[in-house]
Each structure stands twice: as structure tokens, then as C-alpha cells.
Structure 1
Amino acid sequence: MDVDGGSKRVYNRLGGDSKNPKVCFHWQQGKCYRYPCPFLHSELPVSNGGPSKRAHDNSGFNGPRRGPNFNNTWGRGGGRGAGAGAGRGVVVKADKVCNYWIQGSCSFGERCKFLHSWSVGDGFSMLTQLEGHTKAVSAIAFPAGSDKLYTGSTDETARIWDCESGKCVGVINLGGEVGCMISEGPWVFVGIPNFVKAWNTQNLVELSLNGPVGQVYALVVNNDMLFAGTQDGSILAWKFNTGTNNFEPAASLKGHSRGVVSLFVGANRLYSGSMDNTIRVWNLETLQCIQTLTGHTSVVMSVLCWDQFLLSCSLDKTVKVWYATESGNLDVTYTHNEENGVVTLCGMHDSQGKPILLCSCNDNTVRLYDLPSFAERGKILTKQEVRAIQVGPNGIFFTGDGTGEIRVWNWIAEAPTTIK
């Protein structure tokens, strides 16, 4: 399983300092988080891990339909450039949580120049924190209609949490680092090195799907087809057979030259982001690649559909918005720049029904942006970078970071207009 320590979020950072001919040791192990790194990243990773990517969020994220000129409104958020600066309600303080406040002993109170909160901004708050994983949380799944939360980690376990009590009610030892996890209907799917594990939460059937080579970084389901993005650059597909109550191999999609770390289904298309810096667009009926998007210059960590747009993020410090033209091809209509590499994207709606984009960056923050303006709504601060975000019901969402902590957040029904 993949993500930290063995956390093979192989960020595959290219380049390195040409003045230093040494190959980065951490990069060879698939866990270098420096961008740019002073050492060389000029070989293929030698470890079995890579960017564990939660490939598909079940938020039903879908922006409101707009007119044909809607793509021209991207990035009109004000602040420091296109949404890169402080937005409405963002507290102007040092972007650091007070260590004394964490220990419960800060004597400065509101006068403290550091934050006495794990977030800044309006309209959302932290409900609770779940502790149990000993290494990075690489995946979170919340089956529809369930009262259980499933999490996966590079500590080679999956944990099951009771949503009412917040207690861990089960630990599953998987024998490998979790690269990804999703839920679909009664099924929970987990990607680990060389296998996909499947659990039916209703009849307790457990299946093990073989075929992947190396770590499974990404999973997504379309109708009765399960797709898995793997370390060798393949996308494997299984089809569910109701007669045998099993998943049978259906196809292998080839095209990427390096690991496939993110998958998303939308508009009868499968979108795959890869460590080869490209996004491929696949026709779900023919399973053929119909377009290759080459706008990023580093690993494409996450892809997300919103209305007629595709959003993608990369370690090249950008979020790109792709627009479907009349010909059916996707072109970049807007590029949002961050100061650090972007690890994962998740879309949801706030308490007012407005679309929000959550961007986890490798500076240990999650930025919240209004769409399509990219006006900054707030910020979540963590001890280590957040690699998994999952949307729950009624405005709840979950974040899992590199220390193994899971935090539960919710959108407040009536947000204050100002924060002092």
C-alpha cells in the first residue's frame, strides 16, 4: 500500500540540480516531497510505491449549467491575482498553528500572532479528530447509506470507524501499503501492491483481484466496470459477473509510459492522470484513448470533472481548467498557480449550495476556493500534507494527513460575514 514511509506517492519530481550529479535517495524510494529537489530525479523509481491517489470522490460534484461564455469567468476572484491571495473572511495571521495552543498553554489568547485553530476562513469548522493509524492516511471511503467510515494507510491497515461514536470498530491487516480506496454500492475496493481487495459490506464477501503490476494507485467504477490505475502505466478493467458473483478481467488500457495515479469518470469518458505528466481521455464504450492532454510539466496528481470542465492538478504548482470545445477536444481555458505542488483535488458544495474546490498542497495546507472565481474561501492547516479528502453527507467532509490523523469537518449553515 502506498503513501508515506512506504508512502509511495512517487511524486516523480523531474529535473533536479544539474550541479549535483547525485541521484536523490528518497526519490529512488518513491517518497521525495521536495520541489524542486537539489538532487537528480532522472531514473525510474525503484520502489513498489507511488502516488496513492484517491481516484474518485462520491460527492456528486457538479456545477450549475452556465452559458457558452462561462469559461471566461474562471479566476475572477480578486485578491492577490486569480484567487491566490486572501479572500473573504480569511484571517490575516501567520500561517502557523501556535505550538503552545496545541499543548493548551498559550498565555497570549487572542493577542497571539499565531493561529489558535486548525483552519482560517468562514463557513466551515472542525468537528472531531480520529486517531489510530500510525502512518500516512492514503485513502478514505464513505459508503452511501452506511454508518461506517473506511480509511486506508501506509501502515498496511484499513480501519473501520463508527460514525456515531467516532471509535475504531475494526482493523484489517492488508500486508501492503494502501494506494487507494473507493466505495461503490455495498462494495469497498482497496488498491495494494499487485492486488485489488474487494469487500461486500452487506454479505461480507471478500475478493482478491490479481493482475496489477506494482502498486495500485487509483480506482474508479463506471456502471459494472471497475478500473484500476497501476504502477506500470496500465489501466486494468474488471466486469462484475452476477452469475458467479465475482469480478472478471475485461480489458487492459495501454498508453501511459509511467504509473497511473488518478482516475475519474465523467461525460462517458474515463480520465487518467499519470507520472508521465499527461492526462489521457478514454471512450468508455470502445475503451480507446481519444485524446492526450500535455499541459502539465510534472506528475498529474488528481483529475476532477465539474460540469463541462475538467480540472487537474500537478506537482508543477498548477491547477488547470480544461474546456470541451465543439469538436469534443479539451483545451486549457484557465491556469491557477499555487506556490507549492498540488497533491489532490476534491469538489463539493457549501451550506449555500455554492461549488467549492478543495486543493491539498504539499506545504501542509488545504486551500478552499469558490468556483469558478477561485476566490480563496479559507484554509486548513495540518501537521503533514493531506493526501486523502472524502465528502460525506450533509456538508461533512474528511481529511487524512501524513501523520495518520483524520479530521472531520462540516459546513456551517449560516456563515459569519466577517472574522476578526
Structure 2
Amino acid sequence: MDLEGNKRVFHRLGPSSDNRNQKVCYHWRAGKCDRFPCPYLHRELPQQAKNGTASSKRPLGFADDHQVARRNPNFSNNSSSWGRPHGGRGGGRGGGDGGSEIVKKAEKLCNYWVQGKCTYGDRCRYLHSWSTGGFSLLTELEGHQEVVSGIAMPSGSDKLYTGSKDRTVRVWDCQSGQCAGVINLGVEVGCMLSEGPWVFVGLPNVVKAWNIQTMADLTLSGPVGQVYALVVGNDLLFAGTQDGTILAWRFNAATNCFDPAATLKGHTLAVVTLVVGANRLYSGSMDNSIRVWSIETLQCIQTLSEHSSVVMSVLCWDQFLLSCSLDKTIKVWVATESGNLEVTYTHNEEHGLLTLCGMHDSEAKPVLLCSCNDNCVRAYDLPSFSERGKIFAKQEVRSIQIGPGGLFFTGDGTGKVRVWNWLAEPTATA
């Protein structure tokens, strides 16, 4: 038995003509192999091929025709400025001079590290970090028991409000990072919005309105089903509801109440995202369409049907409209001479997309944060769509909210809220 065992150890550590024993031990990579002797290698294979020539394998996600676009802080009216030429996939995940091992480490989060069980430490080939690129994780806010569906930070306030499907709204002290209060609503929170001194909370069949200065607590009735989206424009509060309608209220200063102003009908399924820009209201729905409404007449002036699945998020940036969908695409829309919107660029992802958030990095360059249903948020330079970095989570990130001074917040399916900041000198991704 000892002789046979020594023979197996020799094949494991040294050269062998038996290809079955030239595999690297999966458990050893994770720092958990307890087999002795182990029939597999406890070392990494050399980077060169067996004949001494360099390996022809490309780094993961690297295409032969890939060119990383230069960062451009300004948008252009020329539609060809979006993404790579010829409508190709924008933004590579490789792009560096490092080998495949470096790219793999930057691409994959160590599952054992997430569970607090990785014993391989710094030598682990997988990522022991919640992000890559130019982000800094400032703190984690723990307390919600289910997915975070809304984040709001009123301007001038030192409090952060987060809502969850666990039927609570939590109030966080921005100085200490501690929970300053819990509001038990008894129903799931569908969305949140802050505007001036007001915090709005979308709930089933109602919208709650809290004034953090006067402590007014109002209930806006009218919605049918869950309220999934809220936005303010032209002194109106709009709510996207489960039955496909969009309700509008106008604040009445004399009575200190919100009066019903309009009901916008057209979508056949739930309205899950709203945004206001360029004197228009844009609504995305589970019916796979985007409707464009005049903010003045409140009439639908165009229906966009290029997405093939639920339109999860819409975003206005300068003269462009960006939309993302569970069909795994981000579409960039621009107005033609006739005034109608047309797709000028489509960015493809490998997974369905959940939410978009636009902001500027520490160098004032425009960046798009894009949450996917693979538990990852990708950051892209705009308009090139070259990848800047990633944020990882245990479950899907459903909420992203911009804060002051370069801060932003993410809320995921575990109920955890993370506070991020841009590094002063963003590091390049591998």
C-alpha cells in the first residue's frame, strides 16, 4: 500500500504521461483538499503549452477583433459614437496585457470566500472582493430580511431611507451608519422616491408621502395593485401601477395635500419603471414596450416596441434615452428629425438586465451602472460601453441610488444595503 501511495504522489507532483493525473485538484484550489494522497495536482499548470510554445487560448471574454474604446467624457450627436463600430458588443472584459489567470481571478468571485470558508487566502485564484475597478466599499447596512426594493436620500438630510419586501422602511443615520428607526408598514414596499423634503413609498393600492421637515404623513389612494415606480416632473407625481395605468397627483399648497390630476392608460401590463426628461414622461412595462408621453398634455405620443421582454429600467441622459430589459439588451434611443425615437445602438449582455443608474466618476466622466440577474452590477464608460469594473452580490441587486459627493448605494436580494464611493484614481480592470 505504501508503494502504491508513493507512486500516486509522484504522479501528482511530478511529470507524468498519464493525462488523467495532470488535472489540477479543484478542492486544492479552494484550499479544502483533505485527500492524502490526492490523485490530482496540487500546483498550477504552466502557462506554456507542452511543446514549449505559448498557449493560443484567449483570456475569457476576449474577442479577436476587440478594441477598447477610449473614454470620452462627452456625448456626441453622432450615433456611431456609441459602443464599438459595426454594432458590435461594447466594452470588453479582457483588454489588458495580463494572462488568462489574471482575467479569471478578476472575473469570478470565490464562493468559499463569500461563505467565509476559503482557507487558501491570498493565494486563491478567485476574487476575494465585492468589486473590481474604481470602487470603494465604505460600509454595509444590515437589517432588512428580504430584497431591497427602494432607496431614497432626501437632499440636505442626514438620513437614508430604504424599503424592502420585508414590509418595512428603515431609516439610517448617515454619520454613524446605524439604523435610526424601523417603520413597519405591513405590506411590501414596491419602490421609493425622494423629492425635496418629501419621501414617497409605493405600496399595494396606495402611495405614502412623508414630509421629513413638517412630519406630515399623507396617503395617496387610487392605484390598483402594487406601485412599482415613482417619478416627479412638471410639478406632478407619477406612479406606475400593477394594472398598467399611470396615476398623477399635483401638490396643493393651500390644503397641503396631493390632488389627483390624471390617469394615463395604454400599457396592458404592469408599469415597472418611469423617468422624466426632455419634456417627456417615459414608461417601461411588463408588456415589453416603452411609451412616450407629453408631460404637458399627458397624451401618449409614441410607443417603442423593440424590446422582446419586460422593460425593467429607463434612463434619460442628455438627449438620449437608455432602456434595459430581461431580453439581455441595453438600447440607446435618439430622436430623429421627425421627433420620434429610434434605436441608435444596442448593447448585448449574457444575462437579463434589472436596473440602470447613470452617474459621474471621480474625474467627472459619465458612467452607466447596470445590474444583471447574475448577481453582478457592471460599470460602463459612456458612450463607448467599455467596461470599468463590477460589483458583486450574493443575490440580485434590485436598487441603485446616487448620493452626494460621489456616493452611491446598492440594495440586493438578501436585504443588504452597501454604500460605495469612487476611488480618487480609478484602477483599470484586468
TM-score by length of structure 2 reads 0.79
Q: Is the alpha carbon distance of 1:105 and 1:65 closer, same or farther for their aligned partners in structure 2, counting shifts above 3 Å?
A: closer
The corresponding residue for 1:68 is 77
Shift of 1:145: 1.1
Residues 1:352 and 2:360 are matched in the alignment: no
Q: Contact 2:292–2:302 (CA<8 Å) still a contact in 1?
A: yes
**Paired residues, what number?**
354
The corresponding residue for 1:59 is none
The corresponding residue for 1:145 is 156
Q: Secondary structure at the match of 2:201?
A: strand
The corresponding residue for 2:93 is 85
Instruction: Tell which structure's C-alpha radius of gyration is larger.
Output: 2
How well do the aligned residues superpose, as a CA RMSD in angstroms?
Answer: 2.0
Q: Contact 1:186–1:200 (CA<8 Å) still a contact in 2?
A: yes
Residues 1:172 and 2:180 are matched in the alignment: no
Q: Aligned partner of 1:328: which letter? A: G
Measure the CA separation in 2 of the matches of 1:152 and 1:77.
Answer: 41
Q: Is the alpha carbon distance of 1:418 and 1:300 closer, same or farther for their aligned partners in structure 2, counting shifts above 3 Å?
A: closer
Q: Is the alpha carbon distance of 1:200 and 1:261 closer, same or farther for their aligned partners in structure 2, counting shifts above 3 Å?
A: same
Q: Secondary structure at the match of 2:122?
A: helix
1:33-52 alignment runs, 5 A limit: none
The corresponding residue for 1:334 is 345
Match of 1:196 among 181, 204, 207: 207
Q: Contact 1:128–1:408 (CA<8 Å) still a contact in 2?
A: yes
Q: Is the alpha carbon distance of 1:89 and 1:210 closer, same or farther for their aligned partners in structure 2, counting shifts above 3 Å?
A: farther
Q: Aligned partner of 1:73: which letter? A: S
Shift of 1:415: 2.4
The corresponding residue for 2:298 is 287
Q: Aligned partner of 2:93: which letter? A: G
Q: Contact 1:84–1:337 (CA<8 Å) still a contact in 2?
A: no
Shift of 1:182: 0.4
Measure the CA separation in 1 of the matches of 2:177 and 2:142.
Answer: 10
The corresponding residue for 1:23 is none
Unaligned residue ranges in structure 1 (runs of 5+): 1-62
Measure the CA separation in 2 of the matches of 1:332 and 1:243.
Answer: 44
Measure the CA separation in 1 of the matches of 2:97 and 2:401.
Answer: 24
1:219-238 alignment runs, 5 A limit: 219-238=230-249
Q: Contact 2:315–2:356 (CA<8 Å) still a contact in 1?
A: yes
Measure the CA separation in 2 of the matches of 1:266 and 1:346.
Answer: 14
Q: Contact 2:75–2:383 (CA<8 Å) still a contact in 1?
A: no
Between Structure 1 and Structure 2, the one with more helix by share is 2
**Aligned sequence identity (%):** 71
Residues 1:364 and 2:372 are matched in the alignment: no
Measure the CA separation in 2 of the matches of 1:101 and 1:67.
Answer: 43
TM-score by length of structure 1 reads 0.81
Q: Contact 2:269–2:286 (CA<8 Å) still a contact in 1?
A: yes
Q: Contact 1:349–1:355 (CA<8 Å) still a contact in 2?
A: yes
Q: Contact 2:89–2:347 (CA<8 Å) still a contact in 1?
A: no
Q: Is the alpha carbon distance of 1:89 and 1:409 closer, same or farther for their aligned partners in structure 2, counting shifts above 3 Å?
A: farther
Q: Aligned partner of 2:131: which letter? A: S
Shift of 1:326: 1.5
Residues 1:115 and 2:123 are matched in the alignment: no
Shift of 1:224: 2.0
Q: Is the alpha carbon distance of 1:193 and 1:146 closer, same or farther for their aligned partners in structure 2, counting shifts above 3 Å?
A: same
Q: Is the alpha carbon distance of 1:262 and 1:87 closer, same or farther for their aligned partners in structure 2, counting shifts above 3 Å?
A: farther
Greater relative contact order, per chain length (Cα 8 Å cut-off, separation 6+): 1
Shift of 1:259: 0.5
Match of 2:272 among 240, 246, 261: 261
Unaligned residue ranges in structure 2 (runs of 5+): 1-71
Q: Aligned partner of 1:115: which letter? A: L
Shift of 1:86: 3.2
Q: Secondary structure at the match of 1:194?
A: strand
The corresponding residue for 1:391 is 402
Shift of 1:84: 4.9
Q: Contact 2:89–2:348 (CA<8 Å) still a contact in 1?
A: no
Moved more, 338-347 or 406-415: 406-415
The corresponding residue for 2:354 is 343
Shift of 1:85: 3.0
Q: Contact 1:87–1:375 (CA<8 Å) still a contact in 2?
A: no
Q: Is the alpha carbon distance of 1:334 and 1:241 closer, same or farther for their aligned partners in structure 2, counting shifts above 3 Å?
A: same
Residues 1:217 and 2:232 are matched in the alignment: no
Measure the CA separation in 2 of the matches of 1:177 and 1:371.
Answer: 35
